[in-house]
C-alpha cells in the first residue's frame, strides 16, 4: 500500500501545480544520485565477467528498476519478470557501459523502460477494449468504494505509452529532464509536450474523483 | 523542511520495492549461467568446422603429395629405363604441330594425315625436296626429333615403311614441339 500513498501525494502535488515544491530540491534524496566507489567496483568486476559482483548489483539496483517497471506495467509478477530480463540484458551488454556517459541507474532504466514498453504493447494487443471505457462507464460514487491507488493506476493506464513513460519517469520517479531524454531518446520538447498532456489528463480524472 | 515535504520524503523512500531481491538475483544468475552454457555451443560448432576444414585440407595435401610423388617416381623410372612418359603439350605446341600438318597437306601430301595417324615416308620427304618446298627444313627438324625421341619410328622411316605417329602422340609430346621451335 505504501506506493499507493506515495502516488496519492504525487498526484496531490500535481493538482497543486507543484511537482517539486520549494525546499524539496534540498532534500537529500539519494535514490540514484550518487554512485559509491563500491558500486563502481562492482560494475567494473561485472564488466570483467564476475557474476558474483553482478549478483550484488542486482540486489543493489533491483528496487530502482522494479520501481520504474512497476509504475509502468502495474503488475507485480510481470514487473518482476521484466526486472529479471532487464538484468539479463544488462549482463549481456555491461561491457558497453561507460561511467563517463551517465549513471548506471539511467543505463538500467533505458533497458527496463524499453522492455516494459514492449510488454505494454504486447498487452495492448491482447486486450480488446481499452481501460478508458471501463472507467468512463463507472460513476464516481462507485469508485469511492475502491482504492484510490488502484484508480490512480487505472488513470495512468489511460495515457498513451509515451505519456505514461514520461509521466512515470519525470513525475513519479522524479528524474531530471536530461535523464528522461537519455532513457527515452525523445527530444526535450516531446517530453514536455507529452508530460503536459499527461498531467492534464491525470489532473482532470483525480479532480473528478476527489470532488465526488 | 515543512511537514508536507517530510512526509513526501518519507514516502519517496518507500517507492515500489522488490519483495524478494535474493530470488530475483538467483533467477538472473541462473539464466545467465544457462545462456553462457548455450553460448558455448556455437563456439564448439566453430571449433568442429575448423577441425573439419583442417582435416579436409590435410587429406587433400596428402593425396596431392602422394600423386605428385608417384608421378615423379614414374617419370624418373621411365627416364632411367628409356621409356619416356610424355609431358602433355601446351596449346601453343599443339597449334604448331597442327599448322605443320596442315601445311604438309596443302603442299601435296594429302595422305599424311590418315584418320588419327600421321604417316610420313621417305618418298614424302623426297617429294618435298624435289618441289623445293619451304617445309623441307621443318620436316628435317621433325625427322631429327623423331630420331632422338622415337628411334623405332625413325628406323621404320629409314627402311621405307614410314614413321607412324598418332595425333595423340604429337599432341601430347611437348618435346617434338620444342624441337620444331
Over residues A103-121, the pLDDT tens digits come to: 899 999 999 999 999 999 8
Of B25, B58, B85, which closes a domain? B85
- Structure confidence at residue A130 (pLDDT): 37
From residue A3, give the alpha-carbon distance in Å to each of A6, A29, A193, A205.
5, 17, 26, 19
CB A62 to CB B5 under 8 A? no
Contacts of B176 (CB under 8 A, 6+ apart): B89, B93, B97, B142, B145, B146, B149, B170
The residues near B154 (Cβ < 8 Å, ≥ 6 apart) are B143, B146, B147, B163
Same domain, residue pair B53 and B125:
no
The residue that leads in pLDDT, A122 or A137, is A122
> Chain A closest CA to B2's CA: distance in Å?
8
In terms of domains, do B80 and B106 share one?
no
CA distance B43 to chain A (A): 17
| CB nearest A66 (choices: B1, B9, B17) | B17
Which residues of A are less than 8 Å from B2 in CB distance?
A: 23
Residues B112 and B49 in one domain: no
Q: Which residue of B1, B11, B35 is in closest CB contact with A9?
A: B11
Can you give the pLDDT at residue A137? 46
Q: Which of A54-63, A197-206, B143-152 has the lowest mean pLDDT?
A: B143-152
Residues B80 and B10 in one domain: yes
Q: What pLDDT is recorded for position A6?
A: 54
* Predicted local confidence at residue A36, as pLDDT: 81
CA distance B21 to chain A (A): 6
Contact (CB, 8 A) for A53 and A90: no
The pLDDT mean for chain A works out to: 77
Whether B14 and A3 lie within 8 Å, measured CB to CB: yes
CA distance A83 to chain B (A): 8
Nearest to B28 among A6, A58, A76 (CB): A58
| Chain B residues whose beta carbon lies within 8 Å of the beta carbon of residue A23 | 1-2, 5
Which chain A residues have a beta carbon less than 8 Å from that of B4?
21
Instruction: Provide, as residue numbers in chain B, all residues whose Cβ is less than 8 Å from the Cβ of A13.
Output: 8
Domain boundary assignment for chain A: 2-15+35-211
Q: Which residue of A has its CA nearest to B31?
A: A88
Query: Which carries the bigger pLDDT value, residue B15 or residue A17?
Result: B15
Same-domain status, B69 and B96: no
For B100, the domain range is 91-180
Tell me the percentage of chain B whose pLDDT exceeds 70: 73
Residue A74 is predicted with a pLDDT of 85
**What does the pLDDT read at residue A202?**
83
Same domain, B63 and B112: no
Q: Tell me the three-class secondary structure of chain B, residue by residue.
A: CCHHHHHHHHHHHCCCCCCCHHHHHHHHHHHHHHHHHHHHHHHHHHHHHHHHHHHHHHHHHHHHHHHHHHHHHHHHHHHHCCCCCCCCCCHHHHHHHHHHHHHHHHCCCHHHEECCEEEECHHHHHHHHHCCCCCHHHHHHHHHHHHHHCHHHHHHHHCCCCEEEEHHHHHHCHHHHHHHC
Same domain, B100 and B161: yes
Mean pLDDT over B32-53 rounds to 83
Same domain, B61 and B135: no
Q: What is the pLDDT of residue B84?
A: 55
Q: Which residue has the cell 517497471?
A: A69
pLDDT of A32 over the 50 cut = no
pLDDT of residue A146: 47
pLDDT exceeds 80 at position A60: yes
Beta-carbon separation of A24 and B5 below 8 A: yes
Same-domain check for residues B55 and B112: no
B81 lies in the same domain as B101: no
pLDDT in the model for residue A187 = 92
Per-residue pLDDT, B113: 76
Residues B65 and B46 in one domain: yes
A5-14, A22-31, B49-58: range with lowest mean pLDDT? A22-31
Q: How far is CA A199 from CA A17, A150, A208, A210, B5, in A?
A: 9, 17, 14, 16, 21
Beta carbons of A21 and B31 less than 8 Å apart = no
B16: nearest CB among A3, A13, A51: A3
By the 8 A CB rule, do A96 and A111 touch? no
CATH number for the segment(s) A2-15+35-211: 1.10.1740.10
- Chain segment A66-103, per-residue pLDDT in tens: 999 998 888 889 999 999 999 999 999 999 999 888 88
End residue of a domain, out of B40, B56, B85: B85
Indicate if B5 and B35 belong to the same structural domain: yes
Select from B63, B85, B107 the last residue of a domain.
B85
Mutate to test the interface with A, among B2, B15, B26 (most CBs of A within 10 A): B15
How many independent structural domains does chain B possess? Answer: 2
| Chain B contact set for A24 (CB, 8 A) | 5, 8-9
Lowest-pLDDT range of A64-68, A157-161, B75-79: B75-79
Amino acid at each position: 500500500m505504501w506506493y499507493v500513498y506515495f502516488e496519492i501525494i504525487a498526484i496531490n502535488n500535481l493538482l497543486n501545480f507543484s511537482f517539486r515544491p520549494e525546499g524539496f530540491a534540498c532534500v537529500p534524496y539519494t535514490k540514484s544520485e550518487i554512485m559509491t566507489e563500491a558500486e563502481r567496483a562492482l560494475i567494473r568486476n561485472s564488466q570483467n565477467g564476475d557474476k558474483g559482483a553482478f549478483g550484488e548489483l542486482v540486489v543493489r539496483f533491483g528496487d530502482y528498476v522494479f520501481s520504474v517497471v512497476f509504475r509502468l506495467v502495474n503488475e507485480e509478477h510481470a514487473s518482476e519478470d521484466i526486472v529479471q530480463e532487464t538484468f539479463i540484458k544488462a549482463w549481456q551488454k555491461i561491457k558497453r557501459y561507460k561511467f563517463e556517459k551517465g549513471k548506471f541507474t539511467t543505463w538500467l532504466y533505458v533497458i527496463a523502460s524499453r522492455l516494459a514498453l514492449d510488454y505494454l504493447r504486447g498487452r495492448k494487443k491482447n486486450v480488446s477494449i481499452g481501460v478508458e471505457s471501463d472507467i468512463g462507464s463507472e460513476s464516481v460514487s462507485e469508485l469511492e468504494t475502491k482504492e484510490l491507488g488502484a484508480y490512480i493506476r487505472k488513470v495512468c493506464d489511460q495515457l498513451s505509452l509515451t505519456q505514461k513513460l514520461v509521466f512515470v519517469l519525470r513525475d513519479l520517479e522524479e528524474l531530471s529532464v536530461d535523464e528522461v531524454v537519455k532513457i527515452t531518446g525523445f527530444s526535450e520538447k516531446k517530453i514536455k509536450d507529452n508530460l503536459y498532456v499527461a498531467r492534464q489528463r491525470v489532473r482532470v480524472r483525480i479532480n473528478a474523483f476527489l470532488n465526488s | 523542511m515543512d511537514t508536507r515535504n517530510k512526509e513526501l520524503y518519507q514516502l519517496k523512500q518507500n517507492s515500489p520495492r522488490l519483495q524478494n531481491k535474493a530470488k530475483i538475483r538467483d533467477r538472473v544468475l541462473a539464466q545467465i549461467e544457462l545462456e553462457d552454457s548455450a553460448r558455448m555451443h556455437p563456439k564448439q560448432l566453430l571449433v568442429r568446422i575448423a577441425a573439419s576444414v583442417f582435416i579436409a585440407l590435410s587429406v587433400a595435401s596428402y593425396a596431392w603429395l602422394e600423386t605428385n610423388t608417384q608421378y615423379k617416381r614414374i617419370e624418373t623410372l621411365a627416364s632411367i629405363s628409356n621409356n619416356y612418359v610424355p609431358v602433355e603439350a601446351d596449346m601453343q605446341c599443339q597449334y604448331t604441330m597442327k599448322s605443320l600438318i596442315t601445311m604438309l597437306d596443302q603442299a601435296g601430301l594429302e595422305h599424311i594425315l590418315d584418320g588419327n595417324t600421321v604417316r610420313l615416308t621417305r618418298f614424302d620427304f623426297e617429294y618435298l625436296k624435289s618441289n623445293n618446298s619451304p617445309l623441307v627444313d621443318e620436316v628435317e627438324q621433325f625427322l631429327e626429333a623423331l630420331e632422338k625421341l622415337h628411334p623405332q619410328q625413325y628406323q621404320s622411316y629409314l627402311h621405307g615403311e614410314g614413321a607412324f605417329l598418332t595425333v595423340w602422340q604429337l599432341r601430347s609430346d611437348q618435346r617434338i614441339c620444342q624441337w620444331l621451335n
